[in-house]
Amino acid sequence: MGLVVANTIIQLSRRSDVQLTVGFIRTPTPAGRPVTEFALPSGVPICFDVCRRPLTRADLIRTALAGHLRSDERPILSMLRSAASNADAVLWIGDSWDPLVAMVPTHCDGKPAFLHCNDSIALFQRYRDSNAAWGVRCVVSARQERRVLRSGYCGVVYVSHVDASHAQGLLPGANAPSLAAIPNGIDVDLFAPLTAECVDAGGQFRLLFTGVMSYEPNVVAAEVLVREILPLIQVPVTLRLAGRDPSVAVQRLSSDPRVLVPGAVASMVDEYRSADLLVVPMPHTTGTKNKVLEALSCGLPVLTTRRVMDAFKRPILGTVLADSHDEFAAAIAALASDAQERRRLSRAARESMLAEYSWEARTGQLVDWLTSVVPQP
Per-residue confidence (pLDDT) for residue 35, from 0 to 100: 45
Per-residue confidence (pLDDT) for residue 135, from 0 to 100: 59
For residue 189, pLDDT over 80 is answered with yes
Sheet with 237-242, side-by-side order of all strands? 259-263, 237-242, 205-210, 277-280, 302-304, 319-321
The C-alpha atoms of residue 309 and residue 315 are separated, in whole angstroms, by 7
Please state the domain extents for the chain.
2-185+359-373, 205-357
Strand segments, DSSP code E, in 243-295 are 259-263, 277-280
Please name which of 39, 47, 121, 32 lies closest in space to residue 84, comparing C-alpha atoms: 47
The C-alpha atoms of residue 158 and residue 163 are separated, in whole angstroms, by 6
**Partners of 156 in beta bridges:** 115, 179
What mean pLDDT value characterizes the chain?
84
For residue 197, pLDDT over 90 is answered with no
> For the chain, what percent of residues have pLDDT higher than 90?
49
The C-alpha atoms of residue 148 and residue 78 are separated, in whole angstroms, by 19
Mean pLDDT of 370-375: 85
CA 11 to the chain's CA centroid: 18
Per-residue confidence (pLDDT) for residue 48, from 0 to 100: 85
Of residues 140 and 197, more confidence is placed in 140
Residues 107-153 pLDDT 10s: 999 999 999 987 666 565 555 554 444 455 666 677 778 888 888 99
The C-alpha atoms of residue 260 and residue 283 are separated, in whole angstroms, by 23
Q: How many CB atoms lie within 10 A of CB 315?
A: 11
Per-residue confidence (pLDDT) for residue 25, from 0 to 100: 82
The DSSP result for 301-335, as a single string, is -EEE-HHHHTTSSS--TTEEE--SHHHHHHHHHHH
For residue 295, pLDDT over 90 is answered with yes
Of residues 37 and 186, more confidence is placed in 186
Per-residue confidence (pLDDT) for residue 34, from 0 to 100: 44
The pLDDT confidence band at residue 166, using thresholds 50, 70 and 90, is confident
The pLDDT confidence band at residue 67, using thresholds 50, 70 and 90, is low
For residue 1, pLDDT over 70 is answered with no
Per-residue confidence (pLDDT) for residue 56, from 0 to 100: 74
The C-alpha atoms of residue 141 and residue 314 are separated, in whole angstroms, by 29
The C-alpha atoms of residue 39 and residue 203 are separated, in whole angstroms, by 44
Q: Which of 64-68, 173-177, 189-193, 358-362 has the lowest mean pLDDT?
A: 64-68
Burial 287-303 (b: 16+ CB within 10 A, else e): bbbbbbbbbbbbbbbbb
Q: Which of 4-8, 222-226, 239-243, 251-255 has the lowest mean pLDDT?
A: 4-8
For residue 233, pLDDT over 50 is answered with yes
Task: Establish whether domains 2-185+359-373 and 205-357 are of one fold.
Answer: yes
> Any idea what DSSP says for residue 97?
T
Per-residue confidence (pLDDT) for residue 32, from 0 to 100: 44
The pLDDT confidence band at residue 100, using thresholds 50, 70 and 90, is confident
The C-alpha atoms of residue 162 and residue 312 are separated, in whole angstroms, by 8
CATH number of 205-357: 3.40.50.2000
CATH number of 2-185+359-373: 3.40.50.2000
For 170, counting Cβ atoms within 10 Å of its Cβ (0-12 exposed, 13-18 middle, 19+ buried), the class is middle
Per-residue confidence (pLDDT) for residue 132, from 0 to 100: 47
Residues 32-51 pLDDT 10s: 444 445 667 788 888 888 88
For 213, counting Cβ atoms within 10 Å of its Cβ (0-12 exposed, 13-18 middle, 19+ buried), the class is buried
267 by DSSP, 3-state: which?
coil
Please name which of 118, 121, 115 lies closest in space to residue 184, comparing C-alpha atoms: 118
CA 219 to the chain's CA centroid: 17
Of residues 319 and 161, more confidence is placed in 319
